[in-house]
Amino acid sequence: MRRFILIAVPYIWLLALFLVPFLIVFKIALSDTALARPPYLPQFDWATGLGAFLAELDFENFVFLTSDALYWKAYLSSLQIAVIATLITLLVGYPIAYAMTRAPEAWRPTLMMLIILPFWTSFLIRIYAWMGILSQEGFLNQFLLWTGVISAPLTILNTNVAVYIGIVYTYLPFMILPIYAALDRLDGSLIEAAEDLGCSRLSAFWLVTIPLSKNGIVAGSFLVFIPTLGEFVIPSLLGGSGTLMIGKVLWEEFFSNRDWPVAAAVAVVLLVILIVPIVLFQRNQQKQAEAEA
Amino acid sequence: MTRLSWFNVVSLTVGFAFLYIPILILVIYSFNESKLVTVWAGFSTKWYAELMQNEAFLNAAWVTVKVAVFSSTIATVLGTMAAYVLVRGGRFTGRTVFSGMVYAPLVMPEVITGLSLLLLFIGLNLDRGVLTIVLAHATFSMCYVSVVVSARLMTFDRALEEAALDLGASPFEAFRLVTLPIIAPSVIAGWLLAFSLSLDDLVIASFTSGPSATTLPIKIFSAVRLGVSPEINALSTIMIAIVTLGVITASLITKRNAVRQQRDQQLAERTS
């Protein structure tokens, strides 16, 4: 009996607040927009029954998504931004993770904490901090003007460059930590062996270190890529009117246009796109767990 | 392997500068006299004084803390249960669905979680306010708690539980007297994680809150959209200070416990 309660309580909670809401999104994606409260049709009605209700559902909203260029452009540009940002984060994060494993043993806990600490500080505040740095009269422009690198202030805020900076800044710890974990487990004698056998330090790095830290690279990349794809705060604060990201489109469809069925359809498609990287990520984690066991 | 080349030193310096300079600038300019956030005009704490007068921010802060305390506590109870079921529960019907539901919210975009919960609350005719935000936050943060707790459950020695059962403890007693004290650090870590996720959340709170309950991130977001302001800098500095103190305290406590445990172990080895 106790076991039953132990299972039932979290189970029912998740069914009610995770799975059912999700089915509702799916249902509304198949509904029509209406000037009503709530603003969609059909409403389920016990009198007419399930058959009549189902008959009114259709894929019209999904057809609409393919016909309006805004949507598929937003999906494509989200994918593009997420891929490029993930690559930049990897290029920035790898040397940091690598240097951490080469640091004296006594420093490592402190270095780890310094990487994790920003993660605990508010995400919104960290993005906000960049608004003051990247604006026309911001610190970066002031600094560059002062050093004489540029003669007129650059426009960075409200462009995609600012979005990339924001993503790399926010998700850098997610990239560093799994790579650090993988590099930390790496047996140093393997690299010595490669060097003894005539590899230069660079080729030993390329042929031994990189392949052996592959799991960390893959895990870190997915941990950056997956949340970036549906990102809302970064494009809306740092991006401009030209920054198309699907999280922002969904938000505006819902809050500004009040078109709930289209917003729901946008969400369903986003989720379908996300299934591929999520499954790949899970598989990578499983492989890693098996390798350790 | 502990030779730092010049390249390693540069990577670490540039990396940490990149992570910390923005926060540092934010903190420094919260003490700026001028309204213009990018021009330094002398030291002043007037933005902090002004913040303390701002009813709207104070109310939002209070709502946020309330939501975070309730949601993280619910999330910790549910998340620990879920972790226990997944690691120790054995087989039961619908286990796959259950583990899927526990892990899916971790990778779900916030906009989708927020949208789906809002649609549920509207379907139920539930007035949006503190209650709905608490429900929403508890749901997504219980998954984080369960990941943290199940990691600990997986590594600990099951024989300890079995010994308690053999010595006549009921399963519940065994859990309360043996399992819970051992996994307590991870349960506390889970609570802290849930608490900070709730404090920080903008997207899900925006969907699930009503006009009666505005949280601090929603307030900050709408203020920040209009541009940078020294008052927000002051508010951010206070939040950063609280978090930093919390994290440092927590890590010191864990360190002290580890040292104590080591000492006890040495003592036990010597006396046996």
Task: Inspect the interface and report whether the beta carbons of A226 and B107 lie closer than 8 Å.
Answer: yes
Tens digit of pLDDT for each residue in B202-255?
A: 999 999 998 888 999 999 999 888 877 888 899 999 988 988 888 888 888 877
A45-62 pLDDT tens trace: 556 666 666 667 777 888
- ipTM given for this complex: 0.87
- At the topology level, CATH places domain A69-292 in MetI-like fold (1.10.3720)
Tell me the three state secondary structure of residue B226.
coil
Highest mean pLDDT among A197-201, B187-191, B243-247: B187-191
A118 contacts B109? CB cut-off 8 A: no
Query: Quick one: which of A15, A19, A82 has its CA closest to A224?
Result: A82
For the stretch B24-31, contacts whose Cβ atoms lie closer than 8 Å and that sit 24 or more positions apart, written own/partner, are B25/A129, B25/A132, B25/A133, B25/A139, B26/A125, B26/A128, B26/A129, B26/A132, B26/B233, B26/B236, B26/B237, B26/B240, B27/B233, B27/B236, B27/B237, B27/B240, B29/A132, B29/B230, B29/B233, B30/B230, B30/B233, B30/B234, B30/B236, B30/B237
Query: What total of structural domains would you count in chain B?
Result: 1
- A34 has pLDDT over 70: no
Confidence check: pLDDT of B54 > 50: yes
Please tell me which of the candidates B89, B117, B202 has its beta carbon nearest to residue A21.
B117
The answer to the question of residue B136 being in a domain is yes
The mean predicted confidence, pLDDT, of chain B is 88
Give me the count of residues in chain A. 293
Top residue of A53, A114, A117 to mutate, by most chain B CBs within 10 Å, is A117
Work out the pLDDT band at A167, boundaries 50, 70, 90. very high
Strands (E), chain A: 32-33, 40-41
Q: What is the DSSP letter of A106?
A: G
Residue A74 · residue A246 · CB < 8 Å: yes
In a domain, residue B220? The reply is yes
Confidence of residue A75 (pLDDT cuts 50, 70, 90): very high
Return the structure tokens found at A61. 């909203």
Q: For residue B77, what are the domain limits?
A: 53-255
**Is A51 in contact with A36 (CB distance < 8 Å)?**
no
Count of CB pairs separated by less than 8 Å, A with B: 222
A218-227, B10-19, B174-183: which range is least confident on average?
B174-183
| Residue B246 belongs to domain with CATH number | 1.10.3720.10
The SS3 call for residue B47 is: helix
- The answer to whether the Cβ–Cβ distance between A132 and B199 falls below 8 Å is no
pLDDT in tens, A226-269: 999 999 999 999 998 888 999 999 998 888 888 888 889 999 99
* Beta-carbon separation of A10 and B16 below 8 A: no
On whether residue B175 sits in a domain, the answer given is: yes
The ranges assigned to domains in chain A are: 69-292
Q: Which of A120, A167, A254 to mutate to test the interface with B (most CBs of B within 10 A)?
A: A120
Q: Which residues of B touch A231 (CB under 8 A)?
A: 109
Q: Per DSSP, what are the bridge partners of residue B43? A: B32
